[in-house]
């Protein structure tokens, strides 16, 4: 019988152990998760230091690094979990969105593994993976809840109506918030990755420069939409203008003021989304969720009022456990791919 014909009839196990593979950007990440909630192993091999020389992720370097690291990451995950291949019930892999060459390494590897081990292959959306990181953070978390998705490529407020149904209340109409952090970091001559370096600098600064809070009010689209390109341009103009006039800028203050403008709108819109839906749970997903100012602002605004789920920083940025967790949900639905699975540079949030 052909691989897929046989796999389609795989009996579904409630306590399934899923091996998740993530290679959409510069992290080669492999994790093993039981029943979508319990992390048994979690390996991340990052090529960030190689990209730092160039000020941003170089797709070709990312792809080559994944090729070099993926076998080691998988072997380490198995070894550290104390399991062997027979204990694994399915292989989940990020099929998109991300860098195509980087994704292809993970997808090709996952297909080979699924075929060789005779396991179901489960395609996973990277964005859904970020959202599912919250199920790892709070073992009792159940939909419905609001999630604020704030990553390098996406910014949105979504209703998670049930495990499979997302409703996007609003999203960015231009840049993502993480992208804005990275671009502002560049103009301040901070090394890659920009987000954590802006945060570090901002801690020593004052919020004393008036940058715009884009789409905070008076916008004709969804009140939950975001825009970051105007804020980014305002910061770039501020820095360039000072340079042209030969004036010194206080980088710490620029970082701090930018961070306030970028983050405060997210917290405000999250509050409006909770009010609109009447939901009593708010979760954070995506790399900017690792930002200390955002984490504190959320706690200050919502602690004691609603249930707040903020994953550990490691599970906000890209990781394999979130892919295994979302993979588990897809596995329960029998959403298996055959060996023609391909990588996708873009996938809609749904
Ligand atoms: N402490 C931090 N403060 C602010 N931003 C941060 C922090 N840590 C990480 N980031 C930002 O998070 C982004 C990386 O997050 P993530 O890994 O989720 O994005 P991505 O995978 O590149 O994009 P996407 O998930 O949208 O496809 C980068 O833009 C990075 O600057
Ligand atoms: Mg990501």
Q: How many CA atoms lie within 13 A of 290 on its CB side?
A: 22
Which pLDDT score is estimated for 221?
78
DSSP-derived pairing of the beta strands 145-150 and 90-96: unpaired
3-state secondary structure at position 90: strand
Which residue's structure tokens are 């825009």? Answer: 227
Q: Give the Cα separation of 73 and 130 in Å (integer).
A: 20
Q: Could you please report the per-residue DSSP string of 109-144? A: HHHHHHHHHT--EEEEEHHHHHHHHHHHH-TT--SS
pLDDT recorded at residue 2? 87
Look at residue 337 in the predicted model and tell me its pLDDT: 97
- Centre of ligand 1 to C-alpha 315, Å, is 11
Cβ 153 under 6 angstroms from ligand 1:
yes
Query: Using CA atoms, how far apart are residues 73 and 69, in angstroms rounded to an integer?
Result: 6
Distance, CA of 320 to CA of 340 (rounded, Å) = 22
Tell how far CA 227 is from the center of its chain: 18
Q: Is the CB of 228 under 6 A from ligand 1?
A: no
The pLDDT value recorded for residue 294 is 98
36 CB near ligand 1 (under 6 Å): no
Which-ligand-closest: CA of 180?
Answer: 1
Q: How far is the CA of 287 from the centre of ligand 2 (A)?
A: 6
Distance CA 166, CA 147 (A): 10
Q: Which ligand is nearest to the CA of 196?
A: 1
Distance (angstroms) between ligand 2 centre and the Cα of 245 equals: 39
Q: Which ligand is nearest to the CA of 344?
A: 1
In this prediction, residue 218 carries a pLDDT of 60
**3 state DSSP class of 335:** coil
Ligand 1 near 152 CB (within 6 A)? yes
Q: Are the CB atoms for 331 and 122 separated by under 8 Å?
A: yes
Give the contacts of 89 (CB within 8 A, at least 6 positions apart): 13, 16, 17, 18, 119, 120, 331
pLDDT at site 217: 64
Q: Which residue has the tokens 């975001």?
A: 226
Rounded to two decimals, the pTM is 0.97
pLDDT value, residue 214: 79
Q: Return the residue whose CA atom lies nearest to atom 22 of ligand 1.
A: 152
- What's the distance, Cα to Cα, between the start and end of the chain in Å? 34
> Ligand 1: which residue has its CA nearest to atom 4?
195
- Both tokens of residue 279? 């939901």
Give the position, in ligand 1's atom list, of the atom nearest the Cα of 178.
29
Closest Cα to residue 305, out of 285, 279, 268?
Answer: 279
Burial of 138 (0-12, 13-18, 19+ CB in 10 A): middle
Q: Which residues have a Cβ under 8 Å from the Cβ of 291 and sit 6 or more positions away?
A: 181, 195, 199, 259, 263
pLDDT of residue 246: 95
The protein residue with its alpha carbon nearest to ligand 1, atom 26, reads: 153
What's the CA dihedral at 16, 17, 23, 25 to 10 degrees? 80
Domains of the chain: 3-132+317-332 (3.30.420.40), 142-316 (3.30.420.40)
Residues of the chain with pLDDT under 70: 1, 216-219
The whole-number pLDDT of residue 33 equals: 98
Cα 195 to ligand 1 centroid, rounded to whole Å: 7
Place of tokens 């804005």: 180
Structure-block tokens of residue 286: 């995506």
Per-residue pLDDT of 25-74, as tens digits, reads: 999 999 999 999 999 999 999 999 999 888 889 999 999 999 999 999 99
């Amino acid at each position: 019988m052909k691989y897929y014909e046989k796999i389609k009839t795989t009996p579904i196990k409630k306590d399934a152990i899923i091996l998740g593979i993530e290679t959409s950007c510069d992290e080669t990440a492999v994790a093993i998760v039981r029943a979508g909630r319990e992390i048994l192993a979690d390996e991340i091999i990052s090529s960030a230091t190689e990209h730092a020389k160039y000020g941003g992720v170089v797709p070709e370097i990312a792809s080559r690094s994944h090729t070099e690291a993926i076998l080691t990451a998988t072997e380490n995950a198995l070894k550290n979990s104390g399991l062997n291949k027979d204990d694994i019930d399915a292989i989940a892999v990020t099929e998109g969105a991300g860098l195509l060459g980087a994704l292809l390494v993970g997808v090709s590897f996952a297909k080979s593994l699924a075929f060789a081990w005779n396991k179901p292959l489960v395609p996973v959306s990277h964005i859904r993976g970020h959202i599912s990181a919250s199920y790892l953070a709070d073992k009792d978390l159940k939909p419905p809840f609001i999630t604020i998705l704030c990553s390098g490529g996406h910014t949105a407020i979504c209703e998670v109506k049930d495990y499979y149904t997302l409703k996007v209340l609003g999203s960015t109409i231009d840049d993502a918030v993480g992208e804005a952090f990275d671009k502002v970091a560049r103009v301040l001559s901070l090394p890659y990755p920009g987000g954590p370096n802006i945060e570090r600098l901002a801690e020593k600064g004052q919020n004393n420069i008036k940058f715009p809070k884009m789409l905070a009010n008076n916008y004709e689209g969804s009140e939950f939409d975001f825009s970051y390109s105007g804020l980014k341009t305002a910061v770039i103009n501020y820095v360039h203008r000072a340079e042209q006039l030969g004036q010194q800028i206080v980088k710490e203050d620029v970082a701090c003021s930018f961070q306030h403008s970028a983050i405060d709108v997210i917290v405000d819109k999250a509050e409006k989304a909770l009010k609109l839906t009447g939901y009593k749970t708010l979760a954070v997903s995506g790399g900017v969720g690792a930002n200390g100012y955002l984490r504190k602002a959320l706690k200050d605004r919502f602690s004691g009022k609603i249930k707040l789920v903020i994953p550990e920083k490691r599970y906000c940025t890209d990781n394999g456990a979130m892919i295994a967790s979302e993979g588990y949900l897809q596995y329960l639905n029998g959403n298996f791919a055959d060996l023609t699975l391909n990588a996708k540079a873009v996938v809609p949030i749904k």
